[in-house]
């Protein structure tokens, strides 16, 4: 059994300490331990009360997520919660640290709650496609009211102890929770006869009856922030039951039914796959766990544009001083003022206080001289994509920055080995590809050069965690993981346009599938002119899939930046309006290239775009460019707006069944004659043996990875 509960008696108080490192989830051993310890405390006549706490930095981080979807052994959580709530002696939860999900639900079954001032609580089950099924949907609204409870459960956010006190979730804040809980229990066991139970607090439920406003607000919040997800609606139904049913146990029963529906729903599996996927991504198979990690005390950024500024904010937000260098004083002043405006915006929205802003903005310094980053532990170059320019910058950095510092490039597709080759420290050179806006987007693609050392990689993964990023390692290959897949996907969207579908139809079909933004809205946002200009400069002809986009550029339609692209935009607005005037261009280019435009179904649109992602993803995996299929999912969900509830493109393929994937690939290869749909060898092999996409093959079995010189992907970035 996993985990245990330590039992101790001091001054007539039983102290139960959950011990299941590192974060004390309620695994089978903990549930059994809790149940048996409570029986022991009840039976011991010298014990007058119980204090429940956790070992280490957590109180309890919730149910054991690895148990969902399998057979659960031992005492059930319900039995433990029942025992706790009806304990014959008063119980105080001494919340020493993290109390999430089933952890907070445990505390809500205790008579009293005292929290350490650094502790935090929350019900984040919605992030796993679940609802708080240990009574959380019934007890929390009774303490804080249905509106606040719904906000907490629909956001899944963490609530710091001081706010939890203010909301009424905890009764007291303390710096010494166990001792204070013991003193408290002695006081109340003498002065109070009936110790309070959250289940009995009905006032806020009765008050809320007949008032639709809270429910309507919750539905609007769920529609806005959790589009396509199943669990939020279930959470709302649970709270409705809490309000409308007189009997608490009837509400609990409803919660159990709705929880089971979530548990059996494919979204639950997809979202839990993501939870473990993100944690697995931070581990690099051939880098030992105990690899030394450098302490990053100061960071430098080269380039004060959008990316440089965003990356600087990430370091400052994590409390790390950061120095920005630009070659132009005006650019630098503009860049720094954008950073300040971003922080001011956060103050305006109540996300930072003025003091906090002053402190965090105070960590950002800037100048024009490379000497000023000489003492940095890491310097990240974030200038535009030009290999010669990056070579120059890295040569200068190598000269000016202390010898043991890491030199990183934010390139989205250039060859890291080539960049490393101009330095005398290739083992310290690595790609750190942030996504725009860097202070908001969670993805960090870490590009491992041929000579990047284990220490450099381990340090970058550690700093990624500190910056609150989802860091994923990619080998150095054209387009790395994300942009290489994106290339195939947008190319197929463009082919569908050539064959007869219209941009808004393609966007709507993929947005209904769950993507944040359809490909044409995205291309308009990025700018259609980037590839077109590069091709013009290089004297290259437009590839078939880019012919329509390039023709639109010839007509001065560059996308959002000048108000016209695949869509039209009104001044100052990002909302896409149809552009019927483009249709003649679509027809002309289709005809010139031998396509008879046809009606294309939404199903074909989704299949073809998503299959292009999956097939390329399988190649990326078979080359070992990504370590595992889940890493690709982490990239696509955190960087490219793939719906988390589908678990990422590779999980989606596994869920569809790889035999079905191959059948569809063959079908579209036949319809289009396009080799993009030639099933990847890895897919064929796995489908034949009935396996799923998982780990990359061993080194000796890998397909050769793409070459920067040869790749069409590289030429597009
Ligand atoms: C629930 O409670 C349902 C109930 O309402 C009803 C039931 C009927 N279980 O994230 P970290 C592992 S649903 C199992 O790197 P941090 C994690 O995989 C649950 N394992 O640390 C990792 O393992 P490894 C509701 C768990 O400091 C290690 O612990 N609760 C669990 O950055 C360290 O994790 C949640 O959703 C778990 N519950 O962040 C909370 N939690 O080392 C989920 C963690 O092998 N957890 N692990 O990679 C978190 O949000 C973060 O882990 C936490 C710590 C904030 C706690």
**Claim to verify: residue 136 and residue 235 sit in the same structural domain:** yes
Rounded to the nearest angstrom, the distance between the alpha carbon of 66 and the centre of ligand 1 is: 9
* Cis preceding-peptide flag for 19 (omega within 30 of 0): no
**In the chain, % of residues over pLDDT 70:** 99
Q: What are 160-190's pLDDT values in tens digits?
A: 999 999 999 999 999 999 999 999 999 988 8
Question: Does ligand 1 have an atom closer than 6 angstroms to the CB of 98?
Answer: yes
Rounded to the nearest angstrom, the distance between the alpha carbon of 65 and the centre of ligand 1 is: 7
Tell whether the model's pLDDT for residue 283 goes beyond 90.
yes
**Claim to verify: residue 193 and residue 303 sit in the same structural domain:** no
CATH of the domain at 181: 3.90.226.10
Work out the average pLDDT over 96-125.
98
Closest atom of ligand 1 relative to the 77 alpha carbon: 8
Question: Does ligand 1 have an atom closer than 6 angstroms to the CB of 559?
Answer: no
**Claim to verify: residue 226 and residue 332 sit in the same structural domain:** no
Rounded to the nearest angstrom, the distance between the alpha carbon of 249 and the centre of ligand 1 is: 28
State which of 18, 23, 108, 318 you would mutate to test the pocket of ligand 1, scoring each by most atoms of that ligand within 8 A of its C-beta: 23
Q: Tokens in use for 567?
A: 């869509």
**Claim to verify: residue 169 and residue 90 sit in the same structural domain:** yes
Closest C-alpha to ligand 1, atom 45:
279
The confidence band for 299, taking pLDDT boundaries of 50, 70 and 90, is: very high
Is there a contact between 682 and 619 (Cβ–Cβ < 8 Å)?
yes
20 to 24, 56, 73, 284: CA distances (angstroms): 4, 9, 16, 25
Residue 620 CB-density burial (10 A; 0-12 exposed, 13-18 middle, 19+ buried): buried
**Claim to verify: residue 377 and residue 314 sit in the same structural domain:** yes
What per-residue confidence (pLDDT) applies to 189? 82
Q: Is residue 646 part of a domain?
A: no
What per-residue confidence (pLDDT) applies to 359? 98
Q: Is residue 503 part of a domain?
A: no
**Strand, coil or helix: 403:** coil
Q: Is residue 588 part of a domain?
A: no
DSSP state of 412: S
Is there a contact between 96 and 76 (Cβ–Cβ < 8 Å)?
no
Helix (H) or strand (E) holding 54, with range, is strand 49-54
**Claim to verify: residue 194 and residue 320 sit in the same structural domain:** no
Domain boundary among the residues 431, 455, 481 is at 481
Q: Is residue 132 part of a domain?
A: yes
CA distance 233 to 223: 9
Work out the average pLDDT over 358-363.
98
**Claim to verify: residue 195 and residue 329 sit in the same structural domain:** no
Tell whether the model's pLDDT for residue 534 goes beyond 70.
yes
**Claim to verify: residue 310 and residue 230 sit in the same structural domain:** no
**Claim to verify: residue 219 and residue 337 sit in the same structural domain:** no
Domain boundary among the residues 450, 481, 512 is at 481
Tell whether the model's pLDDT for residue 506 goes beyond 60.
yes
**Claim to verify: residue 361 and residue 233 sit in the same structural domain:** no
Q: What are 424-478's pLDDT values in tens digits?
A: 999 999 999 999 999 999 999 999 999 999 999 999 999 999 999 999 999 999 9
Question: Does ligand 1 have an atom closer than 6 angstroms to the CB of 132?
Answer: yes
Q: Which residues contact 54 (CB under 8 A, 6 or more apart)?
A: 17, 18, 19, 24, 60, 96, 97, 103
Q: Is the dihedral of CA 462, 463, 464, 466 positive or negative?
A: positive
Rounded to the nearest angstrom, the distance between the alpha carbon of 596 and the centre of ligand 1 is: 54
Q: Is residue 446 part of a domain?
A: yes
Q: Which residues of 131-149 are buried (b: 16+ CB within 10 A; e: fewer)?
A: bbbbbbbbbbbbbbbbbbb
Closest atom of ligand 1 relative to the 57 alpha carbon: 27
Closest C-alpha to ligand 1, atom 51:
61
Tell whether the model's pLDDT for residue 715 goes beyond 90.
no
Tell whether the model's pLDDT for residue 54 goes beyond 50.
yes
What per-residue confidence (pLDDT) applies to 73? 80
Number of independent structural domains in the chain: 2
Closest atom of ligand 1 relative to the 283 alpha carbon: 48
Domain boundary among the residues 258, 273, 288 is at 258
Work out the average pLDDT over 396-407.
97
Is there a contact between 381 and 397 (Cβ–Cβ < 8 Å)?
yes
Tell whether the model's pLDDT for residue 714 goes beyond 70.
no
Q: Is the dihedral of CA 280, 284, 285, 288 positive or negative?
A: negative
Work out the average pLDDT over 27-49.
97
Closest C-alpha to ligand 1, atom 48:
279
Question: Does ligand 1 have an atom closer than 6 angstroms to the CB of 611?
Answer: no
Q: Which domain holds residue 32?
A: 4-258
Residue 527 CB-density burial (10 A; 0-12 exposed, 13-18 middle, 19+ buried): middle
What per-residue confidence (pLDDT) applies to 717? 46
Question: Does ligand 1 have an atom closer than 6 angstroms to the CB of 134?
Answer: yes
Q: Decide: pTM greater than 0.75.
A: yes
Question: Does ligand 1 have an atom closer than 6 angstroms to the CB of 133?
Answer: yes
Show which residues are catalytic: 105, 125
Rounded to the nearest angstrom, the distance between the alpha carbon of 608 and the centre of ligand 1 is: 36
Rounded to the nearest angstrom, the distance between the alpha carbon of 64 and the centre of ligand 1 is: 7
Average pLDDT taken over every residue of the chain: 96
Q: What are 198-246's pLDDT values in tens digits?
A: 999 999 999 999 889 999 999 999 999 999 999 999 999 999 999 999 9
297 to 387, 461, 519, 618: CA distances (angstroms): 29, 15, 40, 39
Closest atom of ligand 1 relative to the 65 alpha carbon: 9
**Claim to verify: residue 346 and residue 463 sit in the same structural domain:** yes
Task: Please provide the DSSP assignment of 635-673 as one string.
Answer: HHHHHS---GGGT-HHHHHHHH-HHHHHHHHHHHHHHH-
**Claim to verify: residue 70 and residue 205 sit in the same structural domain:** yes
Rounded to the nearest angstrom, the distance between the alpha carbon of 269 and the centre of ligand 1 is: 15
Q: Is residue 659 part of a domain?
A: no
CA distance 198 to 135: 10
CATH of the domain at 460: 3.40.50.720
Question: Does ligand 1 have an atom closer than 6 angstroms to the CB of 100?
Answer: yes
The alpha carbon of residue 537 and the mean position of all alpha carbons in its chain are separated, in whole angstroms, by 38
Work out the average pLDDT over 272-293.
95
Closest C-alpha to ligand 1, atom 4:
102
Work out the average pLDDT over 125-149.
98
Rounded to the nearest angstrom, the distance between the alpha carbon of 46 and the centre of ligand 1 is: 36
Q: Is residue 276 part of a domain?
A: no
State which of 24, 65, 120, 466 you would mutate to test the pocket of ligand 1, scoring each by most atoms of that ligand within 8 A of its C-beta: 65
Residue 98, sorted as left (phi over 0), alpha (psi -120 to 50) or beta, turns out to be beta
Question: Does ligand 1 have an atom closer than 6 angstroms to the CB of 90?
Answer: no
Q: Is residue 642 part of a domain?
A: no
Residue 548 CB-density burial (10 A; 0-12 exposed, 13-18 middle, 19+ buried): buried
Work out the average pLDDT over 379-396.
95
**How, if at all, do strands 112-116 and 322-325 pair?**
unpaired
Closest among 375, 379, 420, 441 to 402, alpha carbons compared: 375
Residue of 374 and 535 predicted with greater confidence:
374
The confidence band for 124, taking pLDDT boundaries of 50, 70 and 90, is: very high
Question: Does ligand 1 have an atom closer than 6 angstroms to the CB of 122?
Answer: no
């Amino acid at each position: 059994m996993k985990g245990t509960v330590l039992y101790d008696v001091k001054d007539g108080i039983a102290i139960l300490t959950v011990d299941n490192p590192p974060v004390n989830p309620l695994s089978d051993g903990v549930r059994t331990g809790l149940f048996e310890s409570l029986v022991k405390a009840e039976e011991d006549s010298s014990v007058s009360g119980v204090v429940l706490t956790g070992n280490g930095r957590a109180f309890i981080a919730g149910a054991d997520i690895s148990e969902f979807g399998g057979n659960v052994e031992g005492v059930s959580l319900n039995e433990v919660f029942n025992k706790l709530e009806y304990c014959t002696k008063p119980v105080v939860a001494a919340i020493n640290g993290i109390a999430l999900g089933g952890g907070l639900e445990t505390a809500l079954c205790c008579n009293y709650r005292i929290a350490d001032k650094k502790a935090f609580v929350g019900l984040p089950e919605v992030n796993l496609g679940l609802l708080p099924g240990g009574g959380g949907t019934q007890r929390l609204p009774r303490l804080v009211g249905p509106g606040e409870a719904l906000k907490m459960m629909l956001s899944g956010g963490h609530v710091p102890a001081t706010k939890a006190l203010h909301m009424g979730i905890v009764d007291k804040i303390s710096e010494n929770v166990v001792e204070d809980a013991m003193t408290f229990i002695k006081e109340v066991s003498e002065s109070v006869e009936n110790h309070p139970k959250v289940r009995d607090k009905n006032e806020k439920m009765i008050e809320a009856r007949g008032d639709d406003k809270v429910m309507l607000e919750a539905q609007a919040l769920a529609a806005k922030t959790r589009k396509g997800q199943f669990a939020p609606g279930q959470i709302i139904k649970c709270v409705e039951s809490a309000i409308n049913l007189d009997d608490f146990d009837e509400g609990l029963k409803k919660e159990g039914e709705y929880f089971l529906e979530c548990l059996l729903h494919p979204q639950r599996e997809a979202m839990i796959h993501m939870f473990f996927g993100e944690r697995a991504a931070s581990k690099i198979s051939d880098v030992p766990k105990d690899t030394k990690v450098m302490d990053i005390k100061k960071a430098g950024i080269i380039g004060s544009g959008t990316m440089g500024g965003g990356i600087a904010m990430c370091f400052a937000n994590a409390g790390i001083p950061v120095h920005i260098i630009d070659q132009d004083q005006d650019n630098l002043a503009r860049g720094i003022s954008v950073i300040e405006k971003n922080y001011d915006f956060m103050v305006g929205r109540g996300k930072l206080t003025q003091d906090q802003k002053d402190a965090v903005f105070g960590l950002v310094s800037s100048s024009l001289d490379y000497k000023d980053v000489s003492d940095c532990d890491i310097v990240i170059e974030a200038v535009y994509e030009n290999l010669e320019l990056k070579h120059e910058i890295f040569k200068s950095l190598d000269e000016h920055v202390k010898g043991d510092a890491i030199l990183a490039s934010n390139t989205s597709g250039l060859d890291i080995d080539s960049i490393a080759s101009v330095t005398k420290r290739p083992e310290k050179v690595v790609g750190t590809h942030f996504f725009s806006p860097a202070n908001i987007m969670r993805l960090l693609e870490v590009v491992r050069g041929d000579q990047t050392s284990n220490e450099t990689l381990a340090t970058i993964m550690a700093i990624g965690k500190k910056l609150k990023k989802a860091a994923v390692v990619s080998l150095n290959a054209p387009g790395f993981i994300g942009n290489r897949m994106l290339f195939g996907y947008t190319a197929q969207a463009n082919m569908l346009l050539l064959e007869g579908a219209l941009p808004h139809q393609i966007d709507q079909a993929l947005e209904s599938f769950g993507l944040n933004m359809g490909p044409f809205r995205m291309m308009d946002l990025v700018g259609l002119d980037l590839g077109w200009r590069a091709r013009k400069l290089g004297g290259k002809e437009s590839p078939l899939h880019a012919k329509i986009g390039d023709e639109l550029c010839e007509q001065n339609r560059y996308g959002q930046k000048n108000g016209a692209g695949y869509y039209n935009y009104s001044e100052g607005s990002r909302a896409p309006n149809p552009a019927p005037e483009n249709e003649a261009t679509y027809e002309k280019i289709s005809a010139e290239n031998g396509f008879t435009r046809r009606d294309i179904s939404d199903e074909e649109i989704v299949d073809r775009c998503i299959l292009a992602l999956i097939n390329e993803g399988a190649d990326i995996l078979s080359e070992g460019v990504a370590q595992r299929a889940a890493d690709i999912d982490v990239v696509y969900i955190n960087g490219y707006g793939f719906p988390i509830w589908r678990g990422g493109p590779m999980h989606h393929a596994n869920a569809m069944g790889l035999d079905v994937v191959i059948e569809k690939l063959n079908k579209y290869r036949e319809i289009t004659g396009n080799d993009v749909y030639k099933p990847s060898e890895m897919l064929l092999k796995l489908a034949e043996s009935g396996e799923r996409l998982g780990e990359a093959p061993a080194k000796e079995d890998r397909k050769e990875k793409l070459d920067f010189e040869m790749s069409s992907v590289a030429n597009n970035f």
